[in-house]
Structure 1
Amino acid sequence: MTYIKDELCKLASSDMYPLHMPGHKRRLDCDINPYTYDITEIDGFDNLHAAEGIIKEAEERAAALWGAKSSFFLVNGSTCGILAALSAALPKKGHLLMARNSHKAAYHAAYLRELQVTYLYPVFTEFGIQGGILPEQVEAALEADESIEAVFLTSPTYDGIVSDIEKIAEIAHQHGIPLIVDEAHGAHLGFHPYFPKSAITLGADVVIQSLHKTLPAPTQTAILHWNSSYINKERLEWFLNIYETSSPSYLFLTSIDECVRLLTEEKEKYFDAYEKHMKDFYEKASHFSNVEVMGEVDLKETEGFAKDPSKLVLRATKAGLSGEELYQLLREKYHLQLEMCQGDYALAMTSIFDSEEGFDRLYAALEEIDKKEAAARRTITPQFLTEAYAKRTVRISIAEAQDAKTAEMGLKESVGKTAGAFVYLYPPGIPMLVPGEEISKEAVAVIKTCRENAFRIHGVTEDGKIKVVIS
């Protein structure tokens, strides 16, 4: 019998280095017994859902730090913030312009609120990852359909690609609608000139950030920033009441507040050291021949606005390794645990709490891999991600499909049917197939490629069946 605690203790005592979230990297000193500080809403400790005391003060400190009109602590992760923001911004059955590479929480909001969704498809970079959403895409979509009531996009992406939020916000506001930004992977942005600016200061109406992804805070901690004249604040708070637990953990609330305290008092010290580590790593890695580390120079203006350097996008196809093989090699031989892998590349996540030793270990491992020449090969085509996230034909809404009668069907037989469930790679959790979309032969081919390459795919049974709408 294996208990979770035993496995965590084993991991903690090993030399496995975390190049993944959470951003504290298990290096944040804490000498407290968590059970000593685990309380409910007793006298003197305020209430998250009706804050007027110490929680209100803490949220005001956070708003001042990030430059928001109001900020709300989230203990259900960015998920509840996305659900609340979209629910508050749009009426039921409203029309949303949404980036197709959005987190599944946005799709869940579309289902719960029965939204009509028009998609913005991110461009693909020559490096082989999804790029950003371009302002001209947003402009064209809004000009084509005046019924759209809000814009939602992810910036930065899981891989660190940043869209031109300032221009997109300006376009949305010219059309009289709000811009909501999922900045879950960008809570660290805006604190140092080495990194792109945060959407909070660039005109976005609501910005949702996962503190735990890139800052020293535990998993599940997040924050929502409100800066809008288009989205009613009271309505936003009402939906947070609905989607967030009524029993918030004071350990999480304290952790968020302590993260704010650290950034307020010591951000220069941490971010200056972080900048040095990052610059040193990129400079040394630029001399590799067979291992590629994506840098700012690898992103064209037509692919995205900027790249967040904290995300290390690694590719070793010239060394004969797929993303999965590189990921596994770094884990098994070098004891470096990356965040994820997909197609040709693997992703390492860094933060202000990464050590110099951690960067040195990653560089040494990649240097060794780089020297071992092998016949360049690909287990999948370079266009895999383009095919995986290609535009699909929408037949019915997400809500209609999810509420319809469905049945499981083999992949071959499902061609031409309507999807009854999501199919996506996780991570990153971006749907390749959305309920209500036509299941094309191209979509089935991509799903088969994922299965053949043992990618972590959700929405397909072990025997290769997916849900289709039958009525």
Structure 2
Amino acid sequence: MYNIFDKLKNYSDSDYYAFHMPGHKRNLDLMDGTSPYLIDITEIDGFDDLHHAEGLLKEAQERAAKVYHASETHFLINGSTAGILSAILGTTEKGDSILVARNCHKSVYHAIYLNELDPVYIYPKFDIEQGLSTEIDAEDVQKALEEHPKIRAVMIVSPTYDGVVSDIEKIAEIVHEAGCLLIVDEAHGAHFGFDPYFPESANMYGADLVINSLHKTLPALTQTALLHVNGERVNRRKVKRYLDMLQTSSPSYILMASIDACIHLLEETQLQKCSIFKEYAAHIDTLREELKKLKYLKIIRTENADRYDRSKFVISVKHAPMSSRELYERLLRDYHLQMEMLAGTYVLAMTTVGDTQEGLDRLRDALLAIDAEIDTKLKSGSGQEDAGQEQKPMQMTDMDLPLSGRQPSLEKVWTIAKAVKCRDKMQNQNHQKDSEDILYLVNPGKMEKRNFKDSAGYISLEYAYLYPPGSPLIVPGERITQEAVEILCWYQEHDFSIEGLQSEDSIEVWIDG
């Protein structure tokens, strides 16, 4: 039986290629490497303290702020999750109202729960033809702020897991005019702004707090991220207080060194001492051109190239006689290419500056080969042997519903905190009920486990999400709609793992909603 280290070493020595995080892609040519065991220390003399940085680490964070054009930057060694939690908790008070893009990561909902916030949800647009959730519309943000004047902060994700970028500049203007703060989960956009091929960072467009995951798209170790603070609207002391509480009291110097080395690479790029991003952009642009030859598989993105991260290769099967799972497994089994994510109608390949030309070529060759096999089988099956005869795309009947990336629309009835508290109390009948609980806890028979198909119309007491991307399809406190039921059932029937539930095929609900 392998232990973890041996299994990792064996995998590293294999020919499996990573089209997934972390962004360094195990490419040792990018950074000088050494054994982590040789440099693993704690807070000793001369090495500063992340929670009270005065020397080495203070200077490193100031360099990061300069590189990212932020007023202030904090190293995150508990991932973007720690930054998102600190940003939300540091800009709201208990019970405040917050406007949240409904396609945000689950950590956003955890922050809402911790501060017992009253969320107002705003939904991204959806491109039915592409099968992609698109951007958050600035006009929708303005409308929500006008209808809910008690909102204190606005939280959106840009870019999304699929690479969709919202109009941050316009949204920031609207948010600030309403006297609110804008927090942007830019975890997947740590590489933004370092080459014109990619969008600019939200730091450049007026966002008050921006979170970047270095490890997702840059050469940095897993768990490394940054929290940027901009302008004077943010109570920086309060945000820092939450960072100190939520990050480990023994931060890893290996991870902090990885962040610093990554920042140094970005500095070299800005000073034009290296051309790593220019070369990377040229390589993936060439790959995109070469993959235009595909007839059945398609590389999709939003129409507006200025608001899309072209490092993400979203490979759609909507017009191919195969499922996304079949494509995912073919790439893994036959070509040893590990994709980042399997979705309803597409597979996601993440590229970064860490990718090699050999790796990109393998992806190109694999997709073209699979596409050619489809073409051959279709012609053979229809008796059309003429290779030059145009074939009409075939759309799978079970892919008619645009489930891939769709965020079902639900009605928020309770806050997350109220729903979770309700469930916890029901699960512990011996707990003393206080007067507040009695308002909505009447008898234990009102909480039930329901099969997905029978859950429509009831208030959810649990989360339901796919991981990745980790954006909840259902959040506690929402009334489950028929649309949400159909999506859950579709994923279940197609063998996707739905997380956040105590049981695989049922969800706990409050039946007296």
TM-score (norm 1): 0.95
1:372-427 CA distance string (max 9 Å, x none): 224542433332247x5221111111000011135551314433322111001111
Alignment-derived partner of residue 506 in structure 2: 465
Aligned match of 2:297 in 291, 296, 320?
291
Could you report, residue by residue, the CA deviation over 1:283-307 in whole angstroms, capped at 9, with x for unpaired residues? 1111221121124xxx246xx9611
Unaligned runs of 5+ residues in structure 2 are: 379-393, 427-446
Q: Which amino acid aligns with 2:279?
A: A
**Where in structure 1 are there 5+ consecutive unaligned residues?**
none
Aligned position for 2:421: 403
1:134 aligned onto 2:140: no
Structure-2 separation of matches of 1:349 and 1:300: 19
1:162 to 146, 149, 165: 165
Q: Distance in 1 between matches of 2:193 and 2:11?
A: 33
Q: What's the CA shift for 1:33?
A: 2.2
Question: Matched residues, percent identical?
Answer: 46
* Residue equivalent to 2:456: 415
Alignment-derived partner of residue 384 in structure 2: none
Aligned residue for 1:333?
Answer: 334
Q: Residue 175 and residue 337 in structure 1: after superposition, are their counterparts in 2 closer, same or farther (change >3 A)?
A: same
- In 1, Cα distance between equivalents of 2:60 and 2:39: 17
Matched position secondary structure for 1:314: strand
Rounded Cα–Cα distance in structure 1 between residues aligned with 2:296 and 2:303: 22
Q: Which amino acid aligns with 1:458?
A: E
Residue 182 of structure 1 is matched in structure 2 by 185
Mapping of 1:234-245 within 5 angstroms?
Answer: 234-245=237-248
Which residue of 2 is the match for residue 346 of structure 1? 347
Q: Displacement of 1:465 after TM fit? A: 1.8
The 1:100–1:62 alpha-carbon spacing in structure 2 relative to 1, beyond 3 Å, is same
Distance across 2 between alignment mates of 1:172 and 1:31: 44
CA contact (8 A) 1:178 1:228 kept: no
Show the counterpart of 1:323.
Answer: 324
Q: Which amino acid aligns with 2:342?
A: C
Residues of 2 paired with 1:120 and 1:287: CA distance? 38
Q: 2:196 aligns with which of 193, 199, 213?
A: 193
SS in 2 for 1:149: strand
* Separation of aligned partners in 2, 1:257 and 1:193: 24
Answer with 27-36 or 242-251: which moved more: 27-36
Q: Which one has the largest radius of gyration?
A: 2
Residue type matched to 2:76 in 1? L
**Structure 1 position 194, deviation (Å):** 0.8
Deviates more, 1:216-225 or 1:443-452: 443-452
With 99-108 and 311-320 compared, the bigger mean Cα shift is at 311-320
- Mapped to 2, the partners of 1:5 and 1:353 lie a distance apart of 23
Counterpart contact for 2:318–2:395, Cα < 8 Å = yes
Equivalent of 1:436, from 470, 477, 484? 477
Q: Bigger CA drift: 406-415 or 30-39?
A: 406-415
Structure 1 residue 2: deviation in Å?
Answer: 3.1
Between the aligned partners of 2:296 and 2:456, the Cα distance in structure 1 is: 39
2:5 alignment partner AA: K
Q: Output the CA distance in 2 between the equivalents of 1:440 and 1:187.
A: 36
What is residue 6 of structure 1 aligned with on the other side? 6
Q: Distance in 2 between the 1:385 and 1:364 partners?
A: 25
Q: Which amino acid aligns with 1:399?
A: A
For normalisation by structure 2, the TM-score amounts to 0.87
1:82 counterpart = 2:84: yes
CA root-mean-square deviation: 1.7
Partners of 2:117 and 2:455 in 1: how far apart?
A: 26
Which amino acid is the alignment partner of residue 331 of structure 1?
A: L
CA separation of 1:354/1:9 partners in 2, compared to 1, >3 Å: closer, same or farther? same
User: 1:59 is aligned with what amino acid?
Assistant: Q
2:448–2:510 CA contact under 8 A, matched in 1: no
How far the C-alpha of 1:316 sits from its partner, in A, is 2.7
Deviation at 1:459, TM superposition (A): 2.9
Question: Conserved in 2, the CA contact under 8 Å of 1:310 and 1:349?
Answer: yes
1:208 equivalenced with 2:214 (yes/no)? no
- 2:293 and 2:154 map into 1 onto residues whose CA distance is 41
